[in-house]
Structures are given as structure tokens and as C-alpha cells.
A and B are shown apart, each in its own frame.
Chain A
């Protein structure tokens, strides 16, 4: 894992910005065309000439957004046109670097955590997350990392699960659920 600090990072970010803007634009056009209304408008609303139809407000916002994003795309191209770094080939070369950054792994860990919380439950998820993210942030004292993760998990569980009575997820995997119930009974 490394921090992206190559000389052309700024320009590559600009190209990434351009690509994201284009994707946002395409997504908006798709949503505007197919997803604004997803249920029938009641007849009395349709027949009321003075009622603001439910599709109008989002359509106006999307229309404005499309215009603004088009101007933004135009501005990005105008400001960076002609720069050697502002090319797809150069961008393609730098993409693998992004997948080695701490930022990417951080995003991945957060996303995975949100998905494993339900099957594994709070205790296991919290412990695994604290160890993984601590490691990502540079902690290499493994013993301390594990102990700290255990202590913090228990602390958070006692404060929120026991004292504040938040029903923290116990997990859907049978033995992990049994473990959580056993621990709860113990606490």
C-alpha cells in the first residue's frame, strides 16, 4: 500500500474528476428518462390543474443538475486540454496504483464491515474491523492491536448494548449468535 504522490497525481485526479462527472451525467439522464415516477399519480391529482405534479420538482432539479454538470465538464476540458497528463492512456496506467492506496483499502474495509455486520454480529465485526483498520493505519504491534480491539469492542458493547440498551446485532451465523447470547448473559 502506498500514498499516491507521483508527479502527475493532480492531473490524473482531474481526469478522474472528468470521468466521475460524465458518469454522474449519464446516471442522471437515465434516472430522468426511466425512474422519476415509479407509481401511478392519483387521478384527483392528475385532474387538478393547480396541483404541482409529483414528477415536476425532481425533474426541475435534475434538469438544472444536468446543465450545471455539462458546464462543469466543459470547464474541466477547457482548463486541461492539451496537457500531456490529461489523456486516457496515462490515466489507465495510474489506475492500478489507486487500488494499492490506503484510501482504497480503507473504503473496502468500511464497505465490507457494513455487509458482514448482519451475519457476524456486532462483537465479531467490531473486533475484526478494529484490527484491520488499525493495521491499515500503520499499527504493527500485533499483540497490542488485538488486545486494544478486544477491550474497545467490549467497552462499546457495555456502553451501548448494556447501559444504553441499543439492540446491537447478534449475527445470523448460528454459533456466532450463540456466542453473542452467551457473552450477553455473562455481562
Chain B
């Protein structure tokens, strides 16, 4: 199937009237969820899961992708108006968005944010469309060694997730890997770590754990913080009319947008790194590249453009490894992966070969979502004060009830609701332990894939681990993995030592 045929089939799927309505609904709830502080993009996707149970797998991914893209954009509304990022990846947007709102330029800040978000999303959707197919074709030549190396790359990024807490992040990732071993082993079906429980024989269901960690934990944490949101001066009771900057202003930030769209997409492709890393990275890069770095943080459109282009660009990037290799590029992609696995979809390089519709429909959904969300977000910004007037004493419990339904509907099992509740409480304990929930999820999601491929590669290499990686692709990827794993551990020490040496030489 060539590109045009694929595009046609994607359009046919998404432009089916019911599907189009569902995408519009997804964009509306995605933008609202994203704009609400305390509801992350992953949580928004997780809360969208119960709506997908009666859908076909392709429709489900189209729906969830639309929620994902629009929730990232929605996060900028509260970041600009209230200095509270609706989603973590909108945090850098507050640096310049909020000072602009304080000056009475909230409408303009929102205009820049929405348009650059859409550009970032569209560029990354195109990159996803062009890259996924060749990548999956290349991956078809991969054997278990190469597949192990690729999935291990997702884990090797663990040490970079939280550079100040490397040990605890590693523990979290290992904990996720351990949870993935519960149940039957992927090669021979021998039961492990079930503690005699029949319910654990099929392993830990991913969706209830994801929902528990991302939704329930967040609401439980909110019980300790009762905050009231107050819109900044210059905003008429939270009612904002979005304004577009002048043409000259757009031209002044064109390279910021181009650079952030490319970097954001690349960061999104890396397993484990997501929209948050992309937006911070692009913001700091633009500060360094700018002719007027001192103006960043004072309320300039460059800062908003860098952050918002990058975080939306990461959405398309995150879908590349998911669709081409069956490896999630981030937490939200992990939720989508769980939803597809639940529907019996065999993820991996063969998916796009046998069912290219997954790629084309996701592409069309992202294009539509990124365009429609601009108008939806403009409308939502107008009534944002009313949305925020819903007290958390109503919103919080509703989120948990949606989580209950989402977990239960996975397989109509009360056990899954109990797992969700336990995962939610465990998420709170994780916070006390300063462990990293994202790393744990990464370990849980990748665990059985990594083990299965390692086991197969080990048998093919006749039990010789060095032989396993004595192949150019597997060897190079493993080398990259080792550097990625070790650098955050030894990097600071090396920097200190070389820094001291350089100082002594200068003296």
C-alpha cells in the first residue's frame, strides 16, 4: 500500500460520521482534562479508556490519540491564566505565559500557544507517518537480540528520567520489571511469584495499575493540597478572548517553531522521554540560542512557542516506537498500548505490515485533532472560569469513579478494581519513598517483552551472552544503552573532576 492509498484509508476510517463525532468529543474532553490542574495527559488518556471498550481497536487508538494531543494543548490554558500547568509539560509555558497574562496579554499568549501547539502536533504527525513504516520494515529484519537491545534502550533511559534521584529511579524501574514477572513466564508458562493466588496466574493487569497510579494517586495527593485558583489581573474573571499576534511577530519566532518541532519529535521518539522533557529541553535551548536571553521569563512569545511546539511535537514522536516496534514512547503511549493489547492486537513490527490502517488512521486523527483543538481551546478559554468553578470535592470523586469504571470494564473483574485501588495507594507510598512512578510503569510495560526477547536470543546464542550481541545492530544499540545507563551515574563525577583540572590548568 503506498502513502496515498494509506492516507485514503485513514481518511475513510476517521471521516466515518460516528468516528468523527467521537474524535470531536475526544478533543473536547481532552482539552478540558488537560486544562484542569491535577489531570495529566496520561491521566486524561487513562480516563478515556472506558469509552473505548465497545470500539474496534483502530477506533480506540484514534479516539485516545485525539485525547492525548488535545490534553497537552489544554494544559497551556491554566499555565498561562493561573501559573499552574494543567499538564507537567506545560510548566515552561508558565515562565512567559503568566507574565504576559499579568500584563493583560493573556489572549495573545493563548493565541501563540494554540497555534504553535497545532504546528508542533502537525509536524510530528507527519514525521510519524513517514518514519513509522520504514522503521517497522527495518525492524522486521531484527532478530530477538536486536529486539532485546531496542527494548532495553527504553529501560536504559531510566537513569536519565530523574538525574537527582538515579538510584531510586533504577529501583522503581526494577520494581516494574519484577511486577511484570508475576504470573506465567513468557516462554514456558511456568507460574512465578503468584503467592498461591489464582487471580495472579495471568499476571498483573496493566490498565488497572496505570489507572491507579496516574488517576487515583493524583486525587489522593490532592487531599493534602486544597488550593484555590485565581485568574491574574487583566483577565476578566477568567474569560479570555484569544488574539493572534501580528504577522511580523510570527516571523520573528519562525526558527523557534521549526527547531522545537524537530527536537520535540525526536525526544518523543525516544522511549521513556516524553512531552515534559521535550518542552523543558526546547525552552532551555531557545534561551541559549536567543539574541536576547535576558527577556526569557519576562513574558515573550518565544518562550511560549518553544515550550508548546515541543510538547505537542512529542505526541507524534511517542507514537512512532509504539506503532512500528510495539514499544511505548511514553506513559500515555503505554496506556494506549495496554488498550490495544487488551483488544487482542499483536503489537510489533508486523502490525503495520499486516494492518497499515493503524498508522494511517492515527495520522489522520492527529491531523484533525491538532486543527480542531485550536477552535475548541479558544471556546473553552472563553468559559474557563465556569469550568474551574466546579469544586474539587466534585471533580476528585468523579475522577476516581471513572477510574473504577475504567478498571472494572477492562475484563469485568472486581479484582481489577482492587488492583487499581492498591496501585493508587502504592503510588502514594512511592511518593513517600521518592520512587519514580513513570520508571515503574516503563518497567512493567516493557518487562515481558524484554524478558521474552532476551530468553529467545539466549537460546539462539546457545547460552553465550557475548554471542548474543556479536551482531552490528544489536552490538551498537547495546553500546548506546550502556552509555545512556552509565553516563547519568558517572557524568557528574567526571564533570567535577575535569572541571577542577581545567581550573587548575587555567590558574
Contact surface of A with B, Cβ cutoff 8 Å: 3, 13, 16-17, 20-21, 31, 35-42, 45, 48-52, 54-55, 57-58, 61-62, 64-65, 68-69, 71-72, 75, 101-103, 105-107, 110-111, 113-115, 117-118, 126, 129-130, 133-139, 145, 148, 152, 156, 160, 164-169
Contact = CB atoms under 8 A, between A and B. Distances in A.
B20 interface: no
B361 interface: no
Given A103-B428, A137-B397, 14 more contacts: A36-B193, A51-B458, A52-B454, A62-B178, A103-B221, A106-B220, A106-B223, A110-B425, A113-B404, A134-B394, A135-B393, A138-B393, A145-B393, A152-B398
A interface, by DSSP: helix, strand, loop or mixed? helix
Nearest to A152: B398
B405 A160 contact: yes
A151 to B, nearest CB: 10
Contact of B54 (A55, A118, A165): A165
Given A61-B177, A160-B50, A169 B414 contact: yes
Interface stretch (B168-176, B241-249, B335-343, B375-383): B168-176
Contact of A103 (B168, B170, B220, B420): B220
Interface of B: 50-51, 53-54, 167-168, 170-171, 174-175, 177-178, 181, 185, 187-188, 190-196, 216, 219-224, 226, 391-394, 396-398, 400-402, 404-405, 408-409, 412, 414, 417-418, 420-422, 424-425, 428-429, 432-434, 451, 454-455, 458-459, 462-463
B458 A52 contact: yes
A55 B192 contact: yes
Contacts of A38: 191-196
B223 A42 contact: no
B193 A58 contact: yes
B77 to A, nearest CB: 23
Nearest to A63: B174
A165 to B, nearest CB: 6
Nearest to A3: B224
Contacts, number: 186
Nearest to B448: A57
Contacts of B216: 110
A58 B450 CA distance: 12
A72 B435 CA distance: 11
Contact of B224 (A20, A48, A62, A101): A101
A38 B198 CA distance: 12
A40 B412 CA distance: 31
Given A20-B429, A42-B188, A129-B401, A31 B193 contact: yes
A13 B188 CA distance: 43
A160 B414 CA distance: 16
A20 B432 contact: yes
Contacts of B408: 117, 166, 168-169
A37 B433 CA distance: 28
The 8 closest A-B CB pairs, nearest first, are A139-B393, A114-B421, A137-B393, A133-B397, A54-B185, A102-B223, A54-B190, A58-B181
A113 B407 CA distance: 13
Given A110-B425, A133-B396, A136-B223, A45 B401 contact: no
A176 to B, nearest CB: 15
Contacts of B170: 68
- Most B CB within 10 A of own CB, among A45, A55, A152, A164: A164
Contact of A117 (B221, B226, B414): B414
- Most B CB within 10 A of own CB, among A17, A57, A101, A111: A57
6 contacts: A3-B224, A31-B195, A37-B190, A69-B171, A114-B420, A160-B50
Given A20-B432, A107-B425, A138-B226, A117 B192 contact: no
Contacts of A58: 178, 181, 192-193
Given A39-B190, A65-B174, A169-B414, A57 B451 contact: yes
A37 B175 contact: no
A118 to B, nearest CB: 5
B224 A103 contact: yes
Contacts of A75: 167
A106 to B, nearest CB: 4
B188 A50 contact: no
A107 B454 CA distance: 38
Contacts of B421: 110-111, 113-114
A161 B451 CA distance: 39
